[in-house]
Amino acid sequence: MTPEDVSRVIALLRDVARAEILPRFKKLGAGDVRTKAGPLDPVTVADEAAEAALHAGLNRLFPGDDVIGEEAVAAGAARIERLAAPGRVWVLDPIDGTANFAAELPLFGVMAALVEENEILAGFIFDPFGDDCAYALAGHGAFLRAADGRERRLRVAAPVPVRQMVGSMSWRFMDEPLRSHVLHRLDRLAAVTDYRCAAHQYRMLAGGHCHVQMFRKLLPWDHAAGVLLHREAGGYARHFDGSAYSPCHTSGGLLLAPDAASWEKLADALLR
């Protein structure tokens, strides 16, 4: 992607957030929220409107690229397997942190990733309230761009012993016996949180504000942009079995750390 492309994508995310998401925040009616796969998987009219606007905008900006979004896949209009096929594909999460959005908590983000044959080429995580965007281009680093255009490079936190690590653990989707195994070991870290928002958790991780994250549910719209952001900020991520992350793999869990040595220590402390 060119610098102009990056600016156009960020502008699109900002415009959609202002037009379709923020005007609906704290204004959802009784019929504006429903669940998809279960009570932990809500969707709102804002998600659907934002995804439609993002899809249309990306079609205008990059007419040769395909676009798939979380809500389109949920409705059966798109398939995750498309990410492994030739050709560029944009993967969208119109509101990451929908549960927070629906609960009137100002902690959610807009995520977009560009994927080609299972390789993540670019990732964007926009914060509607901060009006800034964390983004990464494969092989070119990770950055935070403010509303006025100023940028700073993102770097993961320096490695520390496991007992000093802080981070977020999304354990609620784990199956037994892994769930109990991990929960009984969380006291080996200094502090553990879960913000119900991968967008902000990835931004914290890539910005050096925490050391570790663990996820069980691995849908590409939740993770493709964030994994690239973390990688380009110097971090190391692997599935629980040590294999590399792939946008098409929706199982196997994901553990993220400052570097490979820290990952091994965390795997020993939490998984093995």
Fold of 162-270: D-Maltodextrin-Binding Protein; domain 2 (3.40.190)
Fold of 3-153: Fructose-1,6-Bisphosphatase; Chain A, domain 1 (3.30.540)
Q: Is the pLDDT of residue 76 over 90?
A: no
81 against 100, higher pLDDT: 100
pLDDT in tens, 124-169: 999 999 999 999 999 999 999 999 999 999 999 999 999 999 999 8
Residue boundaries of the structural domains of the chain: 3-153, 162-270
Q: Is the pLDDT of residue 224 over 70?
A: yes
Q: What mean pLDDT comes out for the span 48-75? A: 93
Q: What mean pLDDT comes out for the span 107-124? A: 97
pLDDT for the residue numbered 40: 66
Report the predicted TM-score, pTM, of the whole model to 2 decimal places: 0.95
What average pLDDT is seen over the chain? 94
| Longest Cα separation, the chain | 50
pLDDT for the residue numbered 45: 95
